Amino acid sequence: MPQDSSGLASAIASPTHYSSRADGGQTALLSLATSVPPIVLRQSDVVARAASLFDGRRSDIDRLLPVFENAGIATRHSCVPLDWYEKPHSWSERNRLYIDNALALLGEAADACLANAACEATEIDAIVTVSTTGIATPSLDAHLVNRLGLRSDVVRLPIFGLGCAGGVLGLARAAALARAMPGARVLFLVVELCALTFRKTDQSKSNIIAAALFGDGAAAALIGPGGSDAGRALAIGKSGEHTWPDSLNVMGWQVEDDGLGVLFSRDIPTLVRDEFCAAADAFLARHDLTRNDIDSFVCHPGGTKVIAALEDALHLRPGTMHEARYVLRRYGNMSAATVLFVLDRHLRGEASPRRVLLSALGPGFTAAFMTLERP
C-alpha cells in the first residue's frame, strides 16, 4: 500500500544514526511516520450511499443525514471500497481483512519511520503495538518480527482496548519501557481499521454517526535516548491519565455476531466541555506545570463538536485547533492513530512549539495526557 501522498509519512527527526547504546539522559521521540490505505472515500459519495445502506424504516437515516454533512470531513481512507458494505460480512471475514491490512499499514509506517531516523530494524530493542479494531493471536507485533527483520530477542508488548486514547497511552507505555531499558530503542506502532467495523444491520444512531466519522490509518514512532546529538528530537516528558467513575457506557465496542458494534454517548461534547479542563489542570499541577506553560495543545479530534468543546474547556480561541480540524477533514477519525497525525502536522509547521500537551479521550471514560518538549 502506498504511503500517505500528502507527505505526512515523513519523519520529524534529523537522519542521525545512533551508534552509542548509552542512555542520553532523556527519552525522546526520534521519528514519527504515518500511513493510510489507498482507497479514498469522499464524504459526498458516502452520503449518497448512506440512504441505501441503512433501512429508512428502521433507522433515523433521513433525519441524521446532516450528520455526514456537518462532520467536518471531506475525505477518509479505507481498506475496503464502498461496494463492500452492500453485502453482509462475518466477524471472521472482517478480522482476516483487519490482520492483512493492519500488517501492511504498520509495515509501511515502520519502514518510513526507521528509514527517516537512519535506524536499522535490528537496532530495535522493543516494540509496542496498539490497536482496538480487531484481534490477532499471535499478535500483530509477532507477525512484524519477521516482516520488519527485527531481532529474535526483541521485547514485545501488544495493547488492546484503549480505543481513541491509545495513541497517547500507548506512546506513554512505550516511553516507560524505554526508560526501564536505558539506551534502548523502542518502536511504537498504532493501527486502527475503523471502516471495517461498520455493519449495515446496525440501525442505531451510534452506528450512523460512526459511519459519518471513522476512517483507517496507522502511525509509527521511534523512541530512544535523547542526548545532545539527537537533532530535532522531542524529549518525552510526563504522562498520566484520568478515568471518570461510572463512565463505562460513554464509549467503546460491543461484540456482536457479525463484528464490533460502536458505543457512543451523545453527552461526550458536554463531558469534555464541563470536565476535561479540570482533569488536564490536575495532571499539569502534579508536574508543577500550568496551562500557561503549554505552547500548543495537540488533541485527538473525535469530531467537530469535540474539538469545539476542547477549545471551550481549555479557554482557547475558536479555531485554535486548526491542525486537528485539518486532520479530521482530510482523514476522518482514525481512533488511536489520529492524534499522531495531528502531532505530525504541528511539528512540521513553521513555528514548531517548544512544549506540547498531547491528549486524547477513550473508553473508560479516560483522558490521556503527555508532555513533549524541545531540548
Q: What is the pLDDT of residues 115-164, one digit of tens each?
A: 999 999 999 999 999 999 999 999 999 999 999 999 999 999 999 999 99
Q: Domain total for the chain? A: 2
Clarify whether residues 33 and 179 are in a common domain.
yes
Whether residue 365 lies inside any domain: the answer is: yes
Clarify whether residues 239 and 208 are in a common domain.
no
Say yes or no to pLDDT of 303 above 80: yes
Predicted pLDDT of residue 264: 80
Whether residue 55 lies inside any domain: the answer is: no
Whether residue 58 lies inside any domain: the answer is: no
Say yes or no to pLDDT of 210 above 80: yes
Clarify whether residues 170 and 241 are in a common domain.
no
Q: What is the pLDDT of residues 76-118, one digit of tens each?
A: 999 999 999 888 899 999 999 999 999 999 999 999 999 999 9
Q: Which of residues 162, 191, 225 is at a domain's end?
A: 225
Structural domain for 144, as ranges: 27-39+73-225
Provide the grid cell at 308.
Answer: 469545539
CATH number of the domain at 332, please.
Answer: 3.40.47.10
119 assigned to active site: no
Say yes or no to pLDDT of 13 above 50: no
For residue 33, give the nearest of 51, 17, 18, 13 by alpha carbon: 13
Whether residue 10 lies inside any domain: the answer is: no
Say yes or no to pLDDT of 9 above 80: no
Predicted pLDDT of residue 349: 76
Q: How far apart are the first and last CA of the chain?
A: 35
Whether residue 15 lies inside any domain: the answer is: no
Total length of the chain: 375
Clarify whether residues 128 and 32 are in a common domain.
yes
Catalytic residue among 164, 194, 277, 299: 164
Looking at residues 215-228, what average pLDDT do you find?
A: 89
Say yes or no to pLDDT of 213 above 80: yes
Whether residue 68 lies inside any domain: the answer is: no
Q: Which of residues 190, 225, 260 is at a domain's end?
A: 225
Clarify whether residues 200 and 286 are in a common domain.
no
Mean pLDDT (the chain) is 87
Percent of the chain with pLDDT over 90: 67
Clarify whether residues 168 and 215 are in a common domain.
yes
Whether residue 5 lies inside any domain: the answer is: no
* Dihedral-angle region of residue 25 (phi above 0 means left; psi in -120 to 50 means alpha; beta otherwise): left
Clarify whether residues 254 and 353 are in a common domain.
yes
Look up cell 523512541; give the residue: 223
Query: pTM of the predicted model, to two decimals?
Result: 0.89
**H or E segment to which residue 53 belongs:** helix 43-53
Whether residue 347 lies inside any domain: the answer is: yes
Pick the residue with more confidence: 140 or 51?
140
Beta strands in the chain (DSSP E): 27-35, 39-42, 75-78, 126-130, 155-159, 186-193, 216-225, 234-243, 251-256, 259-264, 296-299, 355-362, 366-373
